[in-house]
Amino acid sequence: MKQPPMGSIPSPDSAGKSSRRDLLKAAAAVAVTAPLFVPGSALGKNGSVAPSERIIAGGIGIGNRGTDDLRAMLPDADVQFVAICDARKQRREAVKQMADNQYGNQDCKMYSDIREFLATRTDIDAVLIATGDRWHALAATWAMRSGKDVYSEKPSCMTIAEGQAVVETAARYKRIYQTGTQRLSEPNHVFCIEMARQGRLGKVHTAYAHIAPWDAAVMETKWRPGEPEPAKDVVDWDAWLGPCPWRPYHSAYVAGAWRGQYDFHTSCIGEWGAHTFAQAQAGIDCLDTSPVHYQYVNNPTGDTMVTTFANGVKMILSRDDGGKSYWHGSCGERFDGPEGWCGAADGYSRPDVSKPSLLADFKKIVGDYMDRTGRPMSHMRDFLNCVKSRRLTVANPEVMYRSMTTVHAANICMWLKRDMKFDPVKAEFINDPEANRFRSRAMREPYVF
């Protein structure tokens, strides 16, 4: 019988017989002699990223703000977004479509139950959490316990106790965590923070932090009248509520009217203060603490409240009412010192300063910051870099906890209508049991830490 060419598999003879031994020998020859083909994408060539270097990501509760975050994540070659978990079918499908369109496939999986999602998707390295405020801290702690790193939108905790739980969980499980205070990674804000920190304004004596110019510090506690619940697959109302007290379903809550509600929100102070308090505290080197004194102001919003840190520096809450005009954009911070002032907010081409000469070193100051810290001017990229390097993010759990403690303490001051003294080391109000009861809230089973 004619011997088959080297590297081929013999065909049966005219009788239809070919020994199993001959077949195995020929197959082995193919394995030895045939060249091994590995796609360049598997090796990280041609601009691609090897699978071993990719961050496998998923999302929890991706709404309007979360969509912006996802747009910042999807184009990165070292990220593969593979799954979305949301209590709302409409949002699950919308996020799946975004991911599938990005990758040109139909691979993004959908989940409605966060517990199933976290337990079964052991392949996921990191999750983007952009639920409503009520879920941020709980989803983050559950995700970190399941071995996932977390990028959580703000306000990242509803109470001081929730903030502590996030800090403790990240430390215990050695997880990377970034809160979505993205202005800590934007040039105009970084410049103002560095101007204050480096003493270029002289010794800063006052910082101003923008609070939202809508709603009030005292929030609504009445329920909307109930409506028929949609099918669980359309909106899982129990899961949507999560740790909050049960109340009847109303479509307005799901559409975004949960803001201004005590059970769901952190008031006008938290809406923007979750950003701006961290920005202001960064400039006065107080990211590891909170103010020790809160001065009650007799208005509905907390506008002009003076908070004072242990080092004597004041941070003033400003709604920008009354023609003060500290900013002409949103979510601003400003620093005042004896040599001048500097401030920034959204929409600025360059920061506002008391004299033009203060802007002379803009590029150098931002560049030096990036060189010194290794931080990019991209909040999402900072998170992804830290997932790989395992270094602390710029808006790490401690930064979130301290700035959000300031939010909560200011709210409590407004709710109880009196000045308050606070011990940031013990995380408690001094000689004020009534205020201390607001440091935590009951959580509804099974949505507990």
Gyration radius (Cα) of the chain, Å = 27
The stretch 119-136 carries a mean pLDDT of 98
pLDDT of 322 reads: 56
Q: Is the pLDDT of residue 81 over 50?
A: yes
Identify the helix (H) or strand (E) that includes residue 111.
strand 109-111
pLDDT of 323 reads: 59
Mean pLDDT of the chain: 91
Q: What are phi and psi of 121, to 5 degrees?
A: -90, 70
pLDDT of 71 reads: 97
For the stretch 303-322, what's the b/e string if a residue is b when 16 or more beta carbons lie within 10 angstroms of its beta carbon? bebbbbbeeebbbbbbbbee
- Distance, in Å, from the CA atom of 352 to the CA atom of 366, rounded to the nearest integer, reads 15
Which stretch of 111-120, 186-195, 312-321, 371-380 has the lowest confidence by average pLDDT?
312-321
Distance of CA 36 to the CA centre of its chain: 43
CATH number for the segment(s) 42-182: 3.40.50.720
- Distance, in Å, from the CA atom of 398 to the CA atom of 403, rounded to the nearest integer, reads 8
- Distance, in Å, from the CA atom of 80 to the CA atom of 77, rounded to the nearest integer, reads 8
Answer yes or no: are the C-beta atoms of 227 and 280 closer than 8 Å: no
CA distances from 328 to 131, 277, 344, 352, 420 (A): 29, 18, 9, 10, 31
Give the residue from 5, 129, 116 showing the smallest Cα distance to 57: 129
pLDDT of 49 reads: 79
What is the pTM (predicted TM-score) of this model? 0.89
- Distance, in Å, from the CA atom of 188 to the CA atom of 286, rounded to the nearest integer, reads 20
Share of the chain above pLDDT 90, in %: 86
Q: Is the pLDDT of residue 353 over 50?
A: yes
CATH number for the segment(s) 186-218+265-375+396-439: 3.30.360
Q: Is the pLDDT of residue 9 over 90?
A: no
> pLDDT-based confidence at 73, cuts 50/70/90?
very high
Torsion of CA 251, 252, 253, 258, to 10 degrees: 180
The stretch 194-205 carries a mean pLDDT of 98
The stretch 10-14 carries a mean pLDDT of 37
Give the residue from 333, 320, 297 showing the smallest Cα distance to 204: 333
Q: Is the pLDDT of residue 15 over 90?
A: no
**Neighbour count for residue 336 (Cβ, 10 Å):** 21
For the stretch 74-111, what's the b/e string if a residue is b when 16 or more beta carbons lie within 10 angstroms of its beta carbon? bebeebbbbbbbbbbbebbeebbebbeebeeeeebbeb
Q: Is the pLDDT of residue 26 over 70?
A: no
pLDDT of 24 reads: 41
List the domain boundaries for the chain.
42-182, 186-218+265-375+396-439
pLDDT of 209 reads: 98
pLDDT in tens, 389-448: 999 999 999 999 999 999 999 999 999 999 999 999 999 999 999 999 999 999 999 999
pLDDT in tens, 373-406: 999 999 999 999 999 999 999 999 999 999 999 9
pLDDT of 312 reads: 98
List alpha helices for 174-207, DSSP H.
187-197
In three-state secondary structure terms, 394 is coil
- Distance, in Å, from the CA atom of 162 to the CA atom of 167, rounded to the nearest integer, reads 9
The residues near 71 (Cβ < 8 Å, ≥ 6 apart) are: 98
Q: Which two tokens stand for residue 119?
A: 């337990």
- Distance, in Å, from the CA atom of 142 to the CA atom of 84, rounded to the nearest integer, reads 16
pLDDT of 325 reads: 75
The stretch 12-33 carries a mean pLDDT of 43
pLDDT of 27 reads: 41
